[in-house]
Chains A and B, each alone.
Chain A
Amino acid sequence: MTGVLEFLSPSLARDADGFHPVARSATERLFRLAEATFAERDGWLVATAVPGEDEHRARVGIADLSHLGTLDLRPAPTTDVQGDGVTTYRLSPRRALVLYPHAARSSVGEQVAEGGLVVDVTAAFTVLALTGPEARALVARLTHLHHFPSGGEVAHVTGHVLPAGGGYRILVAQEHGHYVAEVALDCARALGGGLVGVDALPPEERA
Chain B
Amino acid sequence: MSLLVTCPNCGPREVQELRCAGESTRRPQSTPTQRELNDYLYVRDNEWGVHREWWFCRVCEEWFLAERHTYTNEVSRTWHPEPA
Contacts and interface: CB of A to CB of B under 8 A. Distances in A.
Secondary structure call for the A interface: strand
Interface string A40-83: 00000000000000000000000000000000000000000000
B60 A95 contact: yes
Contacts of A94: 62
B58 A158 contact: yes
Interface residues of B, number: 12
Contacts of B62: 92, 94
Interface in B10-69: 10-11, 13-14, 16-17, 58-62
A166 interface: no
Interface string A79-108: 000000000000111110000000000000
Given A151-B60, A152-B59, A158-B58, A91 B9 contact: yes
B60 A152 contact: no
Nearest to A157: B58
A92 B14 contact: no
A111 interface: no
A151 B9 CA distance: 11
Interface in A136-186: 144, 150-153, 158, 160
B14 A152 contact: yes
B18 to A, nearest CB: 10
B17 A158 contact: yes
B64 to A, nearest CB: 10
A152 B9 contact: no
Contacts of A95: 60-61
A151 B59 contact: yes
A153 B14 contact: yes
A158 B59 contact: yes
A52 to B, nearest CB: 35
B13 to A, nearest CB: 6
A91 B14 contact: no
11 contacts: A91-B9, A91-B10, A92-B62, A151-B10, A151-B60, A152-B14, A152-B17, A152-B59, A153-B17, A158-B59, A160-B59
Interface of B: 9-11, 13-14, 16-17, 58-62
Interface of A: 91-95, 144, 150-153, 158, 160
Given A91-B60, A95-B61, 5 more contacts: A91-B61, A92-B60, A150-B59, A151-B59, A152-B13
